[in-house]
Amino acid sequence: MSPRFISRFPAFGSALLVTLVACGGSDATGHGHTPDRPLPAYTGHGAELFDDAIEPQAVGLEFETPLDPRIDPKFRERAQVSDAILRARVDTVTERGDGADARYDISFKVVEKISGANPPHDPFTLHVQGNNPTTGILRTMQTQLGGKMFVVFVREFVRPDGDGEWHFHLSPDAKNVASAARDATALNQFSN
């Protein structure tokens, strides 16, 4: 498309550019645990962004007014460094053990890939350890989460034994969340 066409129709040219950028890397291949980058350790700021948490609003709990994802710098950064952002449906929630030693396994089925070149295989399972604050939500709502949709931000980190493991953050499955995630990743691709 010529620059002259874009200058004559700037709104169309901008929309086309955003669409092309947003579609980059959108093939449906699974993640074979052969990342194209060295995996970071699960510490510090990375652990803050991918905190293995479910936002209370995502399960209908309104403790406080959520920050608009379009102006939330933590949301934007999480979107830009995610290996994948997915709209996914909970298949099952399984509790293993109890107390501080409990672990919850949340199995998901991908409904839509929002962005990312390295998503986990579909279906995929994420784990929440018993000492995570999210276990309270999982314990009380375990039977209600089947079929629930989330926007799932995932990133792979290296474990001490050298293998990779997925960490995540679950946001509400809402149009403004998915749209803000698409915009953040498109902006990041455009600026690189």
Q: What pLDDT score was predicted for residue 148?
A: 95
Peptide bond into 73 cis (omega under 30): no
The answer as to whether 21 is a domain residue is no
CA distance 100 to 105: 15
Are 144 and 122 contacting, i.e. CB atoms less than 8 angstroms apart? no
The pLDDT score that the predictor gives to residue 166 is: 96
Please indicate, yes or no, if residue 7 is contained in any of the structural domains.
no
- Whether 8 is covered by a domain: the verdict is no
- Classify residue 106 as left (phi > 0), alpha (psi -120 to 50) or beta: beta
Number of independent structural domains in the chain: 1
What's the pLDDT at 34?
Answer: 52
Q: Check: CB of residue 92 under 8 Å from CB of residue 146.
A: yes
> Is 75:184 a contact under the CB 8 Å cutoff?
yes
Q: Print pLDDT tens along the chain (192 aa).
A: 433 333 443 333 333 333 333 333 222 323 344 556 789 999 999 999 999 999 988 988 876 666 678 888 899 999 999 999 999 999 999 999 877 788 999 999 999 999 998 889 999 999 998 888 888 889 888 889 999 999 999 999 999 999 999 999 999 999 999 998 999 888 666 555
Residue 80: inside a domain, yes or no?
yes
**Helix, strand, or coil (residue 31):** coil
CA separation for the pair 117, 143 (Å, rounded): 32
Q: Residue 63: which domain range?
A: 29-191
Considering the domain boundaries, does residue 170 fall inside one?
Answer: yes
Query: Cβ(57)–Cβ(72) under 8 Å?
Result: no
Helix (H) or strand (E) segment spanning residue 113 = strand 103-115
Amino acid at 62: E
Q: Per-residue pLDDT tens for 163-176?
A: 999 999 999 999 99
* CATH number of the domain enclosing 186: 2.40.50.120
Residue 181 amino acid letter? A
Per-residue pLDDT of 71-109, as tens digits, reads: 888 999 999 999 999 999 999 999 998 777 889 999 999
Q: Is residue 61 domain-resident?
A: yes
139 lies in some domain: yes
